[in-house]
Structure 1
Amino acid sequence: MSIAIMSQLFKAHLGSTNRKMLAVRLADFADDDGKGIWPTVGRLARETELSERTVQRILSEFVDEGLLIVRRKGGWKPGEGTRYDFNMSALVRLQAAKVATEGCHSDTRDTVTPMTAETGTGDTDDAEGCHGDTQTVIEPPIQPSDLREGAREAEGQESQIETEQSIEKGFWALVKDWPGFAGMPKEPAKRAWFALSADERRDAAERFPRWLQLLKAQKKSHTPAPSTYFGEKLWMDVPAQDEVAKPVNAMAAPFGKLWSAARISELLMAPTGIIAPPTQFQLSLIRQGKTTLDEVRAEQRMRCGWPSVNTMHERARERQGWLCPLALEEVAQGFQQVHRDGEQLVAWRREHQRRGWPFPEGKLPDWSYFPPIEGDGDLDLLVAEAVERFRDQISDYLANRSKGDDHAA
């Protein structure tokens, strides 16, 4: 449990009580550095009394907003949760944003405490202190948890309280142009709509146009009825708008962090290039004992096995960048500078030779980037360990690539 992170979260603007409650519960799993969070969605839903859909949505929002960093996706084994870390710099920005917009006192926007009998004892248990050397002990609420939860849910709706009339109005606004709905029974669809939560109704309406586009792209001849769409929550098959708009690739300069991460990630994949059989000249050298068949094949594999990497190298010689996946951007930030005349670069060249990987030819820039080595000792061993750590860090990305997902989203 990280008390310091909880304190920061309590002081931060998170947009709703549900978001703050989930963030504080996540902090209960984190260490003092904000790391090591891996409860399942089901457990978070049970312990916060939110729906699993709401928990999933808020977690996704926290990741998109940069508050959480995904370290390893769950689901590979039954009951395995996704591992998150808090982005500590994002926490600091949230707290700073609250102070900048509210001052110490959200009601008055006043950064100076009016000293009265009620305020003389201070505000918080904050180490920095809103008022320096004073504190107030805030007793825990005495209401039953179900009443507190009801209050939190109401506050989380942020003045968007639904009424029966507004829910029905939303229903008719959504189904009025539904293909074929004029000849369908209306009550089953309306009951299914009312059975949804407010968050689910919002998502169902927001994703409906893209759901129709998805059906059209899949050349479906039949549009499911609204009762089916609502009852089976078919909109969940459609990515959220911010996920659709999010770029997946970016042009990266040669030998920079993202470029280097993309290059080594390609080398960690199985070779896809065509390996030609030995030429007559090579067969002649083999017969003369000047080389071996394994050496010839290894040379061909290095030159032809990873065509995209070879193209990256060719473009780099012309100082041209490469379109690299942004999924690698975070791990690439940890890459280490290596000087072209240093021992580390020589060790990295040997590691490429050992693995049969192509290495950039020609004169390299003064500095290029590679996965960071850790510790002291045999440099070749440290470099090999750095490669395997990088492989572990991008295991989800590599798994998605192996399944044919070019963006490894």
Structure 2
Amino acid sequence: MSSPRFSIIPAWIVTDGRLKGSDLKVLCLLGTYTNKEGWCRRSQVKMAEQLQCGRSTVQDSLNRLAEIGVVEKQRVSSADGRDSAHWYRVVLDRAVASNAFAAWDGEDEEEFGPIEGEKTGTPPAGIPAPPAGPRPAPPAGPEPAPINDSNLTPLVERGERDAALGGEEEENPKALERRFRRWWATWPTYAVDTETTARRAWLDLTAEQRRACEERTADYLATVKASGRKFSKAAATYLSERAWERLGEKDVHHSGQAPEPYTAYSRAGRGLLLAELLRPMRHLQLNKVEENIIEASPEKSGMIWRDKREKQGWPEAVKLIETTVQRRRFHVPQRIVELSKDFDKVKVGSDVWEAWQRLHFRRFWPWLPAPDGLEWMQFPRITAHGESDADLDDAVERAMEEFAGRLNEGRGDDDAA
């Protein structure tokens, strides 16, 4: 049997910022082998062979795609109770509420409904001309045909055009629905959220509020991520509270200056690194090679799990460390910059520096190495302590808890779903 010619995947996932590494390749491979009901049964080993990568890479991508909500997994067990190749379903469409179709019908009726009026002469505005006669159309010129698609118009230009039209676009139900669905695809909880309630809240906004929401949502989500808190606000809550209005104006728009970039050796950079490490560790699973090693040498279990947690448990923190080691810089949210201003300088190789290293070891956190020639590093300020290692360990634990508390201050209202 010949190989499939097409892969069927949902278009919205292509530009989703949560995709990483080989996620899209794994999704396209599943979409290549789906049956007419949208399901595909595929071995992770076989997928890894086709994509020329490790099985663990495929497994990580499948887990992430399931978390995003674009893939559904159905576990299959063999007769002896062991796992077999799973069924996977590519979620092609989210459920469309019935009132969405009602919003579309009005405009579609103009296009597909019966045409009234004179059958000869110039048709009234808004009514298509009668079919062309039997004469062939003139040859097309070399220039490409124009594309009239409002989805391709930048957001700022759409806003200017809408204002010039006196708000006609805002009153168009189909245009409002298209804009809602573009925004809805960017919301972190859309896969488990109530779309009908969110749509109602969207329609309750004024035209100006909807534009502000579209422009500021990315800033709001970046601020939430930088604060270190787990996102849980429902879309309808965000819209009805107009949470984006609580953000300060963008520094770039008002000062004309880009925020200062940092490395993890600075106070602000260390603050962002610790904020990422204070997030919950991602769910990890052993790959087949690791399972075989532990089965053959059980005493290596602790070493393998530690290595896996340090390298994969907090991927954003690992990325910050790699960026710093490569002598590149990154931007830090202003709130983290402010929270880390009182960090202390700690001499590399000192007792306090080693105490911070032990804290990272106890928590399975990746450690930022000190390059040759670097004399000081920045850490949260510790209070008075005794001379023993145990005293120092208690002091850095208290300092870490104090920083975590300040990081989490004021987030209770925002976490309400």
Query: Which bin holds the TM-score, normalised by the shorter protein?
Result: 0.3 to 0.5
TM (norm. structure 1) is: 0.39
TM (norm. structure 2) is: 0.38
